[in-house]
């Protein structure tokens, strides 16, 4: 009873003391705004990290949408017999806030955006835990986790993974074009299309592109709302070959545009359109893969599982 009263008092302070709440909000904004400025001027304008603003907007929108549900679930948990769990969560939250502030100070002082952005995400989750307990965090877990896609990847990791990915995309694209009797040759990541030469850049087939498409795939799965965990797991794994296929289609599109309309078209407006077509192709492939997985699950329940028992209880939706 004492622990439950302590948790309720903490939540009452959050809303009943506007001065303290405003001070906390201003302090949080003072930490976030400089980081957002650096991201907006140094990171997000690049092709590799252009998904950052979209990730931020989607996460904030989902948090706003689910905030009433989080408060309701938090209030229900606080009024139940396990109020002491919420009290312990408050202590955990304070410890995580301390660690997040240390990580932020380190990242800010050393100009390490990865640590800086990651610490702010941890700080946001810790404040939710402090205010709403574990019930609120569980309700907001997806938008909080989705913010992780804002973190800039280490350049060493990007360089190590991007090189073989570009080689694979170039090889498959050249093979497909040659199979269609197009005048295309390949030398490393350089494609020769008629009199033109095209370099497969990092933005066309790099780790950051895969990272962006993985974010798109997880957002699709979240909005789709499948109940079966195994179906979500299969789709999350399939995002990787889907991203690879979409990159190949993007390169093929640029090569064909260059062959038909020349190098100026391939490097001009068509290049931007090919970037948008990458995500459109990935979304269509996701829809197709999701449909096929659902059909396979339905056939499995109908023909393989006798009597519709056992695994048949796993819903395809």
- Residue 268: per-residue pLDDT: 65
Among 150, 165, 188, where does a domain finish? 150
What's the pLDDT tens digit per position in 242-294? Answer: 888 888 888 888 888 888 877 766 666 666 666 677 777 888 888 898 889 88
- Residue 10: per-residue pLDDT: 47
Is the CB of residue 179 less than 8 Å from the CB of residue 185? no
Residues 6+ apart with CB under 8 A from 288: none
The C-alpha atoms of residue 59 and residue 149 are separated, in whole angstroms, by 10
Among 150, 176, 206, where does a domain finish? 150
Catalytic residue among 11, 90, 231, 250: 250
Residue 309 backbone phi and psi in degrees, to 5: -110, 180
The C-alpha atoms of residue 163 and residue 201 are separated, in whole angstroms, by 10
The C-alpha atoms of residue 196 and residue 207 are separated, in whole angstroms, by 26
Catalytic (active site) residue 313 = no
Tally of structural domains, the chain:
2
The C-alpha atoms of residue 186 and residue 254 are separated, in whole angstroms, by 15
297: which 2 tokens? 């699950």
Residues 96 and 49 in one domain: yes
Catalytic (active site) residue 90 = no
- Residue 83: per-residue pLDDT: 44
Residues 129 and 205 in one domain: no
- pTM of this prediction? 0.75
What's the pLDDT tens digit per position in 68-86? Answer: 888 887 766 655 444 444 5
Question: Residue range 153-165: average pLDDT?
Answer: 78
SS (H, E, C) 236-298: HHHHHHHHHHHHHHHHHHHHHHHHHHCHHHHHCHHHHHHHHHHHHHHHHHHHHHHHHHHHHHH
Q: Between the CA of residue 190 and those of 122, 174, 264, 308, what are the distances in Å?
A: 42, 10, 17, 54
The C-alpha atoms of residue 128 and residue 137 are separated, in whole angstroms, by 6
Residues 77 and 138 in one domain: yes
Q: Domain containing 294: what range?
A: 155-313
* pLDDT more than 70, % of the chain: 79
Catalytic residue among 90, 204, 231, 301: 204
Residues 117 and 14 in one domain: yes
């Amino acid at each position: 009873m004492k622990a439950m009263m302590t948790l309720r008092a903490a939540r009452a302070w959050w809303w009943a003391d506007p001065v303290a709440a405003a001070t906390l909000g201003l302090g949080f904004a003072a930490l976030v705004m400089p980081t957002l400025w650096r991201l907006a001027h140094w990171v997000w304008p690049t092709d590799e990290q252009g998904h950052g603003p979209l990730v931020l907007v989607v996460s904030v929108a989902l948090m706003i949408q689910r905030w009433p549900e989080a408060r309701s679930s938090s209030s229900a948990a606080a009024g139940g017999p396990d109020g002491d769990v919420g009290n312990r969560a408050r202590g955990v939250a304070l410890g995580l806030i301390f660690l997040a502030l240390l990580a932020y100070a380190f990242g800010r002082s050393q100009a390490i955006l990865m640590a800086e952005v990651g610490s702010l995400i941890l700080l946001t989750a810790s404040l939710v835990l402090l205010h709403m307990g574990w019930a609120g965090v569980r309700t907001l877990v997806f938008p909080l986790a989705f913010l992780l896609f804002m973190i800039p990847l280490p350049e060493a990791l990007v360089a190590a993974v991007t090189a073989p990915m570009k080689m694979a995309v170039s090889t498959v694209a050249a093979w497909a074009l040659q199979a269609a009797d197009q005048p295309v040759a390949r030398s490393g990541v350089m494609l020769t299309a008629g009199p033109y030469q095209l370099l497969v850049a990092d933005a066309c087939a790099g780790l950051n592109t895969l990272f962006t498409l993985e974010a798109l795939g997880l957002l699709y799965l979240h909005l789709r709302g499948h109940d079966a965990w195994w179906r979500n797991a299969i789709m999350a794994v399939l995002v990787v070959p889907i991203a690879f296929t979409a990159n190949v289609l993007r390169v093929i599109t640029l090569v064909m545009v260059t062959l038909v309309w020349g190098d100026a078209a391939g490097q001009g407006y068509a290049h931007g359109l090919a970037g948008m077509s990458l995500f459109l192709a990935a979304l269509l492939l996701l829809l197709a893969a999701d449909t096929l997985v659902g059909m396979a699950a339905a056939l499995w329940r109908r023909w393989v599982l006798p009597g519709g028992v056992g695994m048949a209880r796993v819903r395809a939706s």
